A and B are shown apart, each in its own frame.
Chain A
């Protein structure tokens, strides 16, 4: 009983903190709209890592991810007047990043062989196991490698929802806002994306074990 009360209190506190953060972002956006550039820099510093993490999972390249983040914040600054206060700033900026990544994937007609190599090289530093058993490490690295490659091979619309839901842990209502769809639609998209990922991982796992 006490535990439930504490848990509910924590949820309330979290919600209140979230509201405060939302208000704070809205205030900063308003100040930036009024020409106070420092307020926009605060927004950038506050959400830079989140946006970068998402962009990196979408592009598999640090340089590309940084370009995407920078472009996203530049566009956000140029379109501050279009931002509606009822949405979270992070949702808005993630939507911009999603659109940018989709545009990049379209314009580049997927990735070149060089980018594929870079993505593969990027796996090298990721596949350092943290388990004592070397066999288990090897098996885990193989699985992670296959998942990474499968994720990189997914279409952008599938990858974005996997990253938002399973890597970033975003809630469905926020995913729905980012994707500009209903919550039910977001759930459906996540399910389809997971299915697509599962189907793509299997061949990579077989390839790795062969």
Chain B
């Protein structure tokens, strides 16, 4: 029965060879139901061929291009989730590179001497803190320790205006290696410092070294100020305060003398 149906279907759709088609048609001559089936299948085929074409489309090359571009962009945009796993590794590698390349951690630790501490941390609390800016002024490191610095005789420097109050602020560690502009070095009035040019490896940034002097004779900064103008070398009195203390009273010895009797200079 199934074979018969299949033959009828093939015959109705014109897929049987000529002799096979004639044989199948001959078999259906005396069979009314077979003829009805064959007729129904032929109508089916005709109905399929009568199906009208689809409505006109609105497709266009531009639309396709936009779709392809959109798909390409979308396929490139997403980052795989596991890619984020590399972020900590990258941060760790960067940190390792920074630690290894830091010179301060290489070899012996560097001893940094603050000249202001060297000069004033000797018990002379009567002295006002000098206007020494650790940021703006060079700091002598172990390579240029005060013991190696060239020393000279004490120099009394007189200025036309009183010393500015000390600006103390804690300098960040990273600024120690800052290049120093020699023209911006401020010498505090009355402070016992000798500033001598030095050259280390021809580097102009390290051309100056500030070294503390032995406080044999110190002059009070205020007494050296002459009202009305700079010091002119006239017969004025100068108070010389000795750094040595009296054994009985503990006070320092002060001697008032004429300015002409005081040796000024190196």
Contacts and interface: CB of A to CB of B under 8 A. Distances in A.
B48 A37 contact: no
Given A57-B54, A126-B51, A166-B45, A74 B65 contact: no
Interface stretch (A15-23, A63-71, A89-97, A112-120): A63-71
B44 A126 contact: no
A153 interface: no
Interface in A40-81: 41, 44-45, 48-49, 52-53, 56-57, 62, 65-66, 69-71, 73-74, 77-78
Interface residues of A, number: 41
Given A52-B57, A125-B55, A167-B48, A198 B65 contact: no
A167 B55 contact: no
Interface stretch (B3-11, B88-96, B122-130, B160-168): B3-11
Taking chain B's interface residues, is the majority helix, strand, or loop, or is none over half, making it mixed? helix
B201 interface: no
Interface residues of B, number: 29
Contacts of B44: 147, 194, 197-198, 201
Nearest to B49: A166
A67 B51 CA distance: 22
A71 B43 CA distance: 35
Given A70-B59, A70-B63, A143-B43, A65 B48 contact: no
A52 B59 contact: yes
B55 A140 contact: no
A158 interface: no
Interface in B24-63: 40-41, 43-45, 47-55, 57-59, 61, 63
Contacts of A70: 59, 63-64, 67
B35 to A, nearest CB: 15
Contacts of A69: 57, 59
Nearest to B61: A41
B68 interface: yes
Interface of A: 37, 41, 44-45, 48-49, 52-53, 56-57, 62, 65-66, 69-71, 73-74, 77-78, 122, 125-126, 128, 140, 143-144, 146-148, 151, 162, 166-167, 191, 194-195, 197-198, 201-202
Interface of B: 5-6, 9-10, 13, 40-41, 43-45, 47-55, 57-59, 61, 63-65, 67-68, 71
15 contacts: A44-B61, A48-B57, A52-B54, A65-B57, A122-B55, A125-B55, A128-B52, A143-B47, A147-B48, A162-B48, A166-B45, A167-B51, A191-B6, A194-B9, A198-B9
